[in-house]
Structure 1
Amino acid sequence: MSRQSIAAILLAGFTALASAQGTLKIGEVNSYKVQPAFLEPYKKGMELAVEEINAAGGVNGRKIQLITRDDNGTPGDAVRAAEELVSREQVDVLAGGFLSNIGLALADFAKQKKFFYLASEPLTDKIVWGNGNKYTFRLRPSTYMQSAMLAPEAAKLKKKRWAVVYPNYEYGQSSVATFKQLLKAAQPDVEFVAEQAPPLGKLDAGSVVQALADAKPDAIFNVLFGADLAKFVREGNTRGLFQGREVVSMLTGEPEYLDPLKDETPNGWIVTGYPWYGIQTPEHKAFFLAYHRKYNDYPRLGSVVGYTTIKSIAAGVAKAKSSETEKLIAAFRGLTIDTPFGKATYRAEDHQSTMGAYVGKTKNDKGKGTMVDYVYLDGAKYQPTNDEVKKLRPAN
């Protein structure tokens, strides 16, 4: 064997050793300034997971370094931030995204660059179906999954005339389209008599509430969140929109959005959410105690998502024994992870995690918004079949 061959072998060995002992860089892009209610707890959840993993020796001997960037709530800024993380910071993987339109932009970036991306939060179905690609996986329950959890509860109400209200961008459009489809299948005589779709963050609550009231629906499906939700609830309470009407509402039970309502919290809305104060499973207790010890605060749903994002990446890298993109993709297909809600699996068919959600009802408990009568629904039971996914998702 020549000296050059021996040198090449030694160099390869040293490179592999350096990689194993080096830093695992996670590049994360999110709308921290625009959506602080969710993303401040989310970042704390990520930092807790990084601390726990590094204290235990890292992943395959590599300590995690988390590098975050703010996308200012715009897809263009998100893609520029991702490019800077990949080219300048030389991160090993990308994660993040809150708004669905930004998640789609980051997923397309991952496809173009052939780079692994874990979409932690964006909910649109397109991320794993219509615009799905081999480089993108998604953690949170999708708009389809959450609609599929809520639609049976809506059908039980036996209300014929429904109105819908949603923010007019990808998440809202996707949520309402799926809810309509699933409710119509469960209750063929249902009618959708009004639709209000204000721009995200620019709700004219008075006109929206009045338009819904004028349509005289029997029930309302709402997917507004954040400041828009607070304005909608306040104006709806003032004008009596919710009196004698059932409301089914996606995300409203999450403490990020329920807590600010305080004494304006409506009673009896059917919601998806996170009743952190009542979950008694061992895995959630351990997470809650660790989070409370570090921050002297209770977790929000963002905390769970951020924590599980980092834990997912660590589990994938450990299984792959590498952070190289193709090996990581192979490891993530069928990867089972531990979450504060129990075990979840990233489906090989569409790269969607089976992490579920809690469904229950809102209650105004002495001026504080809470969830009652809640149950955890396993996300694996609220997804299309493999054959259906093949029709929805491009081959790759």
Structure 2
Amino acid sequence: MLRTSFVSAALGLSILLAGSAHAADPLRIGEINSYKAQPAFLEPYRKAMMLALEEVNAAGGVHGRPLELVIRDDNGTPGDAVRAAEELVSRERVAMLAGGFLSNVGLALGDYARQRKMPFLASEPLTDKITWANGNRYTFRLRPSTWMQVSMLVPEAAKLGKKRWAIVYPNYEYGQSAVQTFKSLLKAAQPDVEFVSEQATPLGKLDAGPVVQALEASKPDAIFNVLFATDLTKFVREGSTRGLFKGREVVSLLSGEPEYLEPLKDEAPVGWVVTGYPWYAIKTPEHQRFLDAYRKKYGEPPRQGSVVGYVTIHAAAEALKRARSTDPEKIVEAFHNMPLSSPWGPIVFRAQDNQSTLGAYVGRTALQGSGAQRTGVMVDFHYADGAKYQPSDAEVVKLRPAR
């Protein structure tokens, strides 16, 4: 029997949504994510997936078959993610897997995909390893990687001409990778740069006082920040209170994303160089169509997660259409060099490393509005096309093992 609405299990273990009823059997996508652990990003992500699912099914589904999502929460842990993946593949008989937020979870799902020879579209995990060192034939990634986004920021960092840099980051795969890339690329662009302090903090458990004090004690000219979500909020508030940012440039990964910038309201930092999503100021036709559809359905503006969720479903649907089959090998081949429209313009999934060319917006933070409406925004931004921020084919060969 086809399911036509959300069903939430008693313990929140699953959510199931199907498109409108069709005579044909549905094609299932198994989606795994950290919904309880990272709600700020993943609630908008989930909403946009449903919007995209409705669009796909309203247009006839995949060769007449409705697309269906079977969703599981991974509780932010690799073990739970792999168990959910096995249940989706063995019991729910999904045609492919998608999702992932945390980098360590994404790597675990990528390894599962390799072992089971099951296509997996990693929506959000940013670790470089997912398409390079641990890359495999069956794992694809939508968002620009850590290396890509850092490489978008490094030219802006080099323009600042600051010599002494301090770094703060969450001490797990994503943060470690971001720091390694930033140091390497900035050193290449500015050989005299010095890194005077590194503060590695437990993910989601930032003790902001000692961290800010240690950064201040190192007397940096500039700071590279990789913290996000609640850790970012704590860092900004404590750093502002102690004057850490006064007279110092800050380059910050992801901090222009509304999920993380808007909760700070009038405490949002001013003048930081960031990657993010200025939904309120993007005037392209592709984005306007997405913005209008999302607002019409939910009565609120989209977030960064909304774009990721929306494109995830359209990418999965397009791969299944091109494959004309649920054969994993045909789905993998369909992804290779697959062009796709997105709210940010056309993208392609590179055959070299299974990485999409989706980019990111780079700009500076500012405060706009007044009173209770005063909040952080991005200004002076530009779109950094992901196709321009990827290593060469020769470099990919060195980075990616033959699997």
- Kindly provide the CA deviation profile for residues 37-88 of structure 1, in whole angstroms up to 9, marking residues without a partner as x: 0000000010000001101110111101111100001100000011111111
Counterpart for residue 242 of structure 1? 245
**1:162 match: secondary structure:** strand
Q: Residues 32-51 of structure 1 correspond to what in structure 2 (within 5 A)?
A: 32-51=35-54
Query: In structure 1, what residue type is equivalent to 2:98?
Result: A
Counterpart for residue 391 of structure 1? 398
Measured in 2, the distance between the counterparts of 1:332 and 1:92 equals: 14
Query: In structure 1, what residue type is equivalent to 2:103?
Result: S
Report the TM-score, using the length of structure 1 for normalisation. 0.94
Query: Does residue 376 of the first structure (1) align with residue 383 of the second (2)?
Result: yes
Query: In structure 1, what residue type is equivalent to 2:382?
Result: V
Query: In structure 1, what residue type is equivalent to 2:379?
Result: V
Q: Find the partner of 1:146 among 144, 149, 159.
A: 149
Q: Residues 260-299 of structure 1 correspond to what in structure 2 (within 5 A)?
A: 260-299=263-302
Query: Does residue 319 of the first structure (1) align with residue 297 of the second (2)?
Result: no
- Kindly provide the CA deviation profile for residues 315-349 of structure 1, in whole angstroms up to 9, marking residues without a partner as x: 11111112211001111010011110000000000
Measured in 1, the distance between the counterparts of 2:295 and 2:169 equals: 34
Which structure carries more helix by proportion?
A: 1
**2:161 match: secondary structure:** coil
Query: Does residue 206 of the first structure (1) align with residue 209 of the second (2)?
Result: yes
Measured in 2, the distance between the counterparts of 1:358 and 1:224 equals: 18
Counterpart for residue 102 of structure 1? 105
Query: Does residue 362 of the first structure (1) align with residue 362 of the second (2)?
Result: no
Counterpart for residue 220 of structure 1? 223
Sequence identity percentage: 69
Query: Does residue 53 of the first structure (1) align with residue 56 of the second (2)?
Result: yes
Measured in 1, the distance between the counterparts of 2:283 and 2:326 equals: 35
Q: Find the partner of 1:121 among 120, 124, 127.
A: 124
Counterpart for residue 15 of structure 1? none
Report the TM-score, using the length of structure 2 for normalisation. 0.93
Measured in 2, the distance between the counterparts of 1:21 and 1:385 equals: 44
Counterpart for residue 236 of structure 2? 233
C-alpha displacement at 1:190, in angstroms?
A: 0.4
- Kindly provide the CA deviation profile for residues 350-375 of structure 1, in whole angstroms up to 9, marking residues without a partner as x: 00000000000000224301000000
Counterpart for residue 349 of structure 1? 352
Query: Which one has a bigger Cα radius of gyration?
Result: 1
Query: In structure 1, what residue type is equivalent to 2:383?
Result: Y
Counterpart for residue 159 of structure 2? 156
Measured in 1, the distance between the counterparts of 2:205 and 2:317 equals: 38
Query: In structure 1, what residue type is equivalent to 2:223?
Result: I
Measured in 1, the distance between the counterparts of 2:297 and 2:69 equals: 18
Measured in 2, the distance between the counterparts of 1:264 and 1:198 equals: 22
Measured in 2, the distance between the counterparts of 1:349 and 1:200 equals: 32
Measured in 2, the distance between the counterparts of 1:175 and 1:93 equals: 29
Measured in 2, the distance between the counterparts of 1:24 and 1:139 equals: 21
**2:201 match: secondary structure:** coil
**1:129 match: secondary structure:** coil
Q: Which moved more, 1:380-389 or 1:316-325?
A: 316-325
Counterpart for residue 193 of structure 1? 196
Query: In structure 2, what residue type is equivalent to 1:62?
Result: R
- Give the ranges of 4+ consecutive aligned residues of structure 1 lying more than 2 Å apart after TM superposition: none
Measured in 2, the distance between the counterparts of 1:354 and 1:57 equals: 27
Query: Does residue 28 of the first structure (1) align with residue 31 of the second (2)?
Result: yes
Consecutive unaligned residues in structure 2, runs of 5 or more: 1-22
Consecutive unaligned residues in structure 1, runs of 5 or more: 1-19
**1:369 match: secondary structure:** strand
Measured in 2, the distance between the counterparts of 1:268 and 1:198 equals: 24
Aligned residues: 378
Measured in 1, the distance between the counterparts of 2:275 and 2:326 equals: 34
